[in-house]
């Protein structure tokens, strides 16, 4: 199955936005023109500060319905925008612009909106998106197949978080992604960085934190393209990967979130995305 939009699937119902429910999870979907996109998910039993969290087992159950993910060991509870932000309103704008098919328009700061709010909502979205994409590869991206976190022969990434691991260490690709997703969750759950209360200020270094998150999420894309793209093709998920990456790159380009030197592993692909715009 292919689609011009990320994570849209054939679904024979009229245009609407609704929850699909089962005894253990709910999926929030937006339906347009016979396609639907999962835009949120929640456990019926758990809701933490309006970040609709789910256990990895619940996520496996939900995504297996759509053939997404096989051994999703690294899946983490899906995040929602901080409750104290204008997240719901901005999410509606994102859904509307993504539905139009114009990705450049989808990444632009809506008129009159706060830049930090926009960065916060999209940081959560892209975290979820990369989480989902990588989750489809966890049975193939193993310590045996990927003993180091690389993006082709010229680029190797080592992990350090500056707190528990201060000196960069060499780890396997799946371990790197595990460390990364755990680290990002800590940032998203830190109310001094991603405020939960209405009117609470963002920290002065907020954009720098966001830039580090996006820089490291890019490395997951770089590893997927260099080490697992043929497997993505065999799974017929390349259309989703390519559109998600295009959305990611247009957003980071719009707000200058990743230094050019960091984009080296996928520079030709990135130029093919940006030049037409």
Q: CA–CA separation, 152 vs 224, rounded Å?
A: 10
Residue 137 lies in a domain: yes
Residue 258 lies in a domain: yes
Position 215 pLDDT exceeds 90: yes
Q: CA–CA separation, 125 vs 208, rounded Å?
A: 18
Partners of 68 in the beta sheet? Answer: none
Residue 253 lies in a domain: yes
Return the higher-pLDDT residue of 235 and 47: 235
Q: CA–CA separation, 212 vs 162, rounded Å?
A: 12
Residue 89 lies in a domain: yes
Judge contact between 214 and 123, C-beta under 8 A.
yes
Q: Burial, 135: exposed, middle or buried (Cβ in 10 Å; 0-12, 13-18, 19+)?
A: buried
- pLDDT tens sequence across 171-186: 999 999 999 999 999 9
> Number of structural domains, the chain?
1
Residue 34 lies in a domain: no
Query: Please, which pLDDT band fits residue 81 given cuts at 50, 70 and 90?
Result: low
Judge contact between 185 and 78, C-beta under 8 A.
no
Q: What is the CATH number of the domain that holds 99?
A: 1.20.140.30
Residue 21 lies in a domain: no
Residue 178 lies in a domain: yes
At 106, list the tokens. 């989808």
At 100, list the tokens. 């139009």
Residue 127 lies in a domain: yes
Report the predicted TM-score, pTM, of the whole model to 2 decimal places.
0.70
Q: CA–CA separation, 65 vs 268, rounded Å?
A: 35
Q: Residue 109 is part of which domain span?
A: 47-274
Return the higher-pLDDT residue of 107 and 71: 107
Position 143 pLDDT exceeds 70: yes
Position 54 pLDDT exceeds 50: no
Judge contact between 254 and 216, C-beta under 8 A.
no
Query: Please, which pLDDT band fits residue 198 given cuts at 50, 70 and 90?
Result: confident
The CA angle 128-138-82, to the nearest 5 degrees, is 15
């Amino acid at each position: 199955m292919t689609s011009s939009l990320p994570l849209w699937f054939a679904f024979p119902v009229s245009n609407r936005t609704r929850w699909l429910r089962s005894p253990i999870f709910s999926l929030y979907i937006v339906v347009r023109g016979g396609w639907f996109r999962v835009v949120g998910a929640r456990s019926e039993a758990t809701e933490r500060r309006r970040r609709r969290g789910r256990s990895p087992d619940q996520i496996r159950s939900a995504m297996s319905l759509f053939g997404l993910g096989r051994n999703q060991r690294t899946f983490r509870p899906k995040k929602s925008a901080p409750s104290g932000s204008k997240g719901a309103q901005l999410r509606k704008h994102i859904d509307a612009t993504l539905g139009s098919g114009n990705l450049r328009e989808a990444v632009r700061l809506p008129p009159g909106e706060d830049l930090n709010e926009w960065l916060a909502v999209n940081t959560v979205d892209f975290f979820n998106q990369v989480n989902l994409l990588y989750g489809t590869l966890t049975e193939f991206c193993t310590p045996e197949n990927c003993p180091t976190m690389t993006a082709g022969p010229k680029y190797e990434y080592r992990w350090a978080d500056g707190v528990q691991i201060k000196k960069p260490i060499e780890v396997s690709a799946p371990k790197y992604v595990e460390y990364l997703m755990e680290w990002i969750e800590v940032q998203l759950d830190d109310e001094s960085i991603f405020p939960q209360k209405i009117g609470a200020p963002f920290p002065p270094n907020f954009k720098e934190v966001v830039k580090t998150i996006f820089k490291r999420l890019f490395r997951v894309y770089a590893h997927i393209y260099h080490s697992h793209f043929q497997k993505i093709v065999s799974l017929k998920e390349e259309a989703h990967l390519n559109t998600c990456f295009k959305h990611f790159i247009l957003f980071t380009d719009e707000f200058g979130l990743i230094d050019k030197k960091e984009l080296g592993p996928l520079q030709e692909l990135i130029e093919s995305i940006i030049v037409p715009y």
